[in-house]
Structure 1
Amino acid sequence: MGAALRRIQFGNALAAFGNGFTAPFLFVYVSRVRGLGDGTAGAVLAVFALVALAVLPFTGRVIDRRGPMPVALVGSALGMVGALGFGISEDASSALASSALMGAGVAVIQPALATMIVSCSTTSSRSRAFATQFFLNNLGLGVGGLLGGLMVDEHRPATFTLLFVIESAMFVVLALVLVSVRLPEFRAGDAVRGAAAPMRESLTDSWAVLLRDRRMVLLCVLGFVLFFACYGQFESGLSAYAVEVTRISTSTLGVALAANTAMIVLAQYVVLRLVERRRRSRVVALVGLIWAVAWVAAGASGLVHGAQAAATALLITTYALFGLGETMLSPTVAPLVADLAPKRLLGQYNSAFALVKQLALAVGPAVGGLLAATGAYGLYIVMLVGCSIGVSLLALALGRRLTAAQDRPYRSVVVASNSGTGQQTSDTRAEATALSASEEREAAMAAV
Structure 2
Amino acid sequence: MRRIQAGGALSAFGLGFTVPYLYVYVAQVRDLGATTAGAVLAVFAMAALVVLPFSGRAIDRRGPLPVLLVAAVLASVGALGMGLAGSVPTVVLSAALLGAGTAVMQPALATMIVWCSSASTRTRAFATQFFLQNLGLGIGGLIGGQIVDESRPSSFTLLFSIEAVMFLVLAGIAASVRLPGSPALPGGRPENTEAKGGMRALLGHKAMVQLCVLGFVLFFACYGQFESGLAAYGTEAAGIKPATLGMALAANTAVIVVAQFVVLRFVERRRRTRVIAAVGLIWAAAWVIAGYAGLGHGSQTMATAAFISTYALFGLGEAMLSPTVAPLVADLAPESMVGQYNSAFALVKQLALAVGPAVGGPMGAALHGPYIVTFILFSLGITVLALRMGRQLTPVQDQPSLAAKASRVVAQHKPEQRVEASA
Please tell me the TM-score bracket, short chain as reference.
Answer: over 0.9
Q: State the secondary structure of the residue aligned to 1:195.
A: coil
Question: 5 Å matches for 1:316-331?
Answer: 316-331=308-323
Query: Alignment partner for residue 351 of structure 1, among 326, 340, 343?
Result: 343
| 1:442 matched residue in structure 2 | none
- Across the aligned residues of Structure 1 and Structure 2, the Cα RMSD in angstroms comes to 1.7
TM-score relative to the length of structure 1: 0.90
Q: Does 1:429 align with 2:411?
A: yes
Query: Alignment partner for residue 120 of structure 1, among 76, 94, 116?
Result: 116
Unaligned runs of 5+ in 1: 415-423, 433-448
Output the amino acid matched with 1:54: V
Aligned 8 A contact 2:15 2:163 in 1: yes
Aligned 8 A contact 1:191 1:338 in 2: no
| 1:147 matched residue in structure 2 | 143
Query: Alignment partner for residue 225 of structure 1, among 214, 217, 228?
Result: 217
Query: Alignment partner for residue 226 of structure 2, among 226, 234, 240?
Result: 234
Q: Does 1:382 align with 2:373?
A: yes
2: CA distance, partners of 1:324 / 1:412: 27
1: CA distance, partners of 2:295 / 2:6: 44
Q: State the secondary structure of the residue aligned to 2:238.
A: coil
Q: State the secondary structure of the residue aligned to 1:411.
A: helix
Aligned 8 A contact 1:194 1:345 in 2: no
1: CA distance, partners of 2:246 / 2:186: 40
Q: Does 1:285 align with 2:267?
A: no
Q: How many residues align?
A: 414
| 1:249 matched residue in structure 2 | 241
Runs of at least 4 residues off by over 3 Å:
191-194, 428-432
Aligned 8 A contact 1:285 1:392 in 2: yes
1: CA distance, partners of 2:330 / 2:188: 12
CA distances 1:352-387 after superposition (whole Å, capped 9, x unpaired): 0000000000000110123235x1121111111111
Q: Does 1:398 align with 2:389?
A: yes
Q: Structure 1 residues 185, 425: closer, same or farther in 2, change over 3 A?
A: closer
Q: Structure 1 residues 426, 382: closer, same or farther in 2, change over 3 A?
A: closer
| 1:407 matched residue in structure 2 | 398
2: CA distance, partners of 1:240 / 1:120: 42
2: CA distance, partners of 1:390 / 1:431: 44
CA distances 1:78-98 after superposition (whole Å, capped 9, x unpaired): 000000011011111111000
Aligned 8 A contact 1:413 1:428 in 2: no
Aligned 8 A contact 1:64 1:193 in 2: no
Q: Does 1:199 align with 2:190?
A: no
Q: Structure 1 residues 217, 431: closer, same or farther in 2, change over 3 A?
A: farther
Output the amino acid matched with 1:136: L
Question: 5 Å matches for 1:245-324?
Answer: 245-324=237-316
Output the amino acid matched with 2:392: R
1: CA distance, partners of 2:367 / 2:88: 33
Aligned 8 A contact 1:193 1:346 in 2: no
Aligned-pair CA distance for 1:425? 9.9
Unaligned runs of 5+ in 2: 415-423
Aligned 8 A contact 1:288 1:389 in 2: yes
Aligned 8 A contact 1:44 1:96 in 2: yes
CA distances 1:179-224 after superposition (whole Å, capped 9, x unpaired): 000000233x3376562472263xxx51000000000000000000
| 1:366 matched residue in structure 2 | 358
Q: Structure 1 residues 180, 384: closer, same or farther in 2, change over 3 A?
A: same
TM-score relative to the length of structure 2: 0.95
1: CA distance, partners of 2:128 / 2:299: 39
